[in-house]
Structure 1
Amino acid sequence: MDIKAIVKCETILGEGPLWDVAEQKIYWIDSYGSKIFRANEDGSDVETWDVPQKIGSLALRRSGGAILSLADGFYLFDFETGKTDLIERVRHKADSVRMNDGKVDQRGRFVSGSIEITETSASAELYSVGIDRKVTRIDDEIVVSNGPCWSPDGTIFYFADSRSRAIWAYDYDLDTGSATNKRKFCDFGEEDGLPDGATVDAEGYVWSAGVYKSKIHRFAPDGTRALVIDMPVVCVASVMFGGANLDRLYVTTMKSAPVPGIVETGPEAGSLFVIDGLGVKGLPEYRYGG
Structure 2
Amino acid sequence: MRIEVLLDVKTTLGEGPLWDVDQQRLYFIDSFDGRVFRTTADGRELRAWDVPQKIGSMALRKDGDGAIVSLARGFHLLDFKTGEVELLHDPEPDAASNRINDGKVDKRGRFVAGSMDTQESGPNGSLYSISTGFEVTKLDTGIVCSNGPCWSPDGSIFYFADSWSGEIWAYDYDLDTGAVSNRRTFVKINTPGGGAADGSTVDAEGCVWNAQVYDGKLVRYRPDGTVDRVIDMPVKKVTSVMFGGPNLDILYVTSMAKPPLPRFPGDGVLRGSLFAIYDLGIKGVPEPRFGA
Q: Which amino acid is the alignment partner of residue 239 of structure 2?
A: A
The 1-side partners of 2:110 and 2:95 are apart by 26
Q: Which amino acid is the alignment partner of residue 276 of structure 2?
A: V
Query: Which ranges of structure 2 fall in alignment gaps of 5 or more residues?
Result: none
- 8 Å Cα contact 1:146-1:197 kept in structure 2: yes
1:56 corresponds in structure 2 to 56
2:6 corresponds in structure 1 to 6
What per-residue deviation string (whole Å, max 9, x for no partner) do you get for residues 166-208 of structure 1?
1000000000000100000001114262000000000000000
- 8 Å Cα contact 1:155-1:171 kept in structure 2: yes
Matches within 5 A, 1:249-260: 249-260=251-262
Q: Which amino acid is the alignment partner of residue 103 of structure 1?
A: K
- 8 Å Cα contact 1:76-1:84 kept in structure 2: yes
Q: Which amino acid is the alignment partner of residue 123 of structure 1?
A: N
- 8 Å Cα contact 1:167-1:195 kept in structure 2: yes
Matches within 5 A, 1:82-97: 82-91=83-92, 94-97=95-98
2:224 corresponds in structure 1 to 222
TM-score (norm 1): 0.98
What per-residue deviation string (whole Å, max 9, x for no partner) do you get for residues 54-113 of structure 1?
001000000021000000100111000000111111225632110000000000000000
Matches within 5 A, 1:238-253: 238-253=240-255
What per-residue deviation string (whole Å, max 9, x for no partner) do you get for residues 228-283 of structure 1?
10000110000000000000000000001113233431211111100001100000
Matches within 5 A, 1:28-177: 28-64=28-64, 65-91=66-92, 94-177=95-178
Q: CA RMSD in A?
A: 1.0
Q: Which amino acid is the alignment partner of residue 86 of structure 1?
A: L
Q: Which amino acid is the alignment partner of residue 25 of structure 1?
A: R
The 1-side partners of 2:102 and 2:185 are apart by 19
The 2-side partners of 1:91 and 1:238 are apart by 25
The 1-side partners of 2:15 and 2:284 are apart by 18
The 1-side partners of 2:125 and 2:203 are apart by 28
The 1-side partners of 2:165 and 2:93 are apart by 20
The 2-side partners of 1:286 and 1:73 are apart by 21
Tell me, what secondary structure is at the counterpart of 1:163? helix
The 1-side partners of 2:61 and 2:118 are apart by 28
Structure 1 runs of 4+ with >4 Å offset: none
- 8 Å Cα contact 2:259-2:266 kept in structure 1: no
What per-residue deviation string (whole Å, max 9, x for no partner) do you get for residues 2-33 of structure 1?
10111111000000000000000000000001
- 8 Å Cα contact 2:214-2:265 kept in structure 1: no
Query: Which ranges of structure 1 fall in alignment gaps of 5 or more residues?
Result: none
Instruction: Tell me the matched-pair count.
Output: 290
Seq. identity, %: 56
- 8 Å Cα contact 1:92-1:98 kept in structure 2: no
The 2-side partners of 1:66 and 1:262 are apart by 31
Q: Which amino acid is the alignment partner of residue 11 of structure 1?
A: T
TM-score (norm 2): 0.97
1:278 corresponds in structure 2 to 280
